[in-house]
Amino acid sequence: MTSKGTSILFIRHGVTEWNVKNLVQGSTDIPLGEEGRAEVRAWQLPPEFNDFVWMSSPLKRAIETATILSGGAPETDPRLSEMCWGTWEGRTLKDLRVELGDLMVAWEAKGLDFHGPDGESPRDVQSRIKPLFQEFAKNKRDICAVSHKGVMRAVYALAIGWDMADKPPVKMLDGCAHLFELDETGAPSVAQLNIPLVQ
């Protein structure tokens, strides 16, 4: 794909059993469920991205998604891993909101600085992803990255200056790809969101 900068196409992994149960996964290494495998097999990368280099988070659900889509073993990089939710992993947000009440409301209002106990914030995710984007830009590698919702939202926030204290201007849909352009410094901008993967 021809562009002035470097392109990175993000795809979220397929559905896991924890997704079905609405459990917070974070850094917990949960594999795809059967529903997720069937979902990903139905996806097809648009042909204009066929020359992109496949990369993945090292978590099983992302590696398996990338392997099914690409037909090969992707490169992995820990900086593409999901945001760690600390001691909240394995819980539901609904239960946490009931249990913590106004405290949870105050925490969620922190936006970019919101994090669970012993977990990461979206700003932390941005800090670890920036050096990776700088490497992509320096090497002029167009990348197809299979990652996670928390990572993609943090990148979107970085690209548009969203503080994450309220809803995003555009919701990033599952089952779609999201294209960002990197300038020569690795700073991202939005090229196209919600590119369908089911043709």
Q: What is the mean pLDDT of each run of 10 residues along the chain (199 residues)?
A: 76 97 96 97 96 97 98 96 96 89 78 92 97 96 97 98 93 96 97 93
Q: pTM for this one?
A: 0.93
Q: What is the pLDDT of residue 41?
A: 97
For residue 25, tell me if it sits in a domain. no
- Give residues with Cβ within 8 angstroms of 78, minimum separation 6: 57, 58
CA angle 12, 185, 192 (to 5 degrees): 40
Is residue 139 domain-resident?
A: yes
Give the CATH number, domain containing residue 164: 3.40.50.1240
pLDDT at site 107: 74
Is there a domain that residue 98 lies in?
no
Structural domain boundaries, residue 160 = 6-15+36-83+121-196
Q: Which residue numbers are catalytic?
A: 13, 82
Asked whether residue 142 is assigned to any structural domain, the reply reads yes
Q: Which residues of 70-107 are buried (b: 16+ CB within 10 A; e: fewer)?
A: beeebebbebbbbbbbeebbeeeeeebeeeeeeeeeee
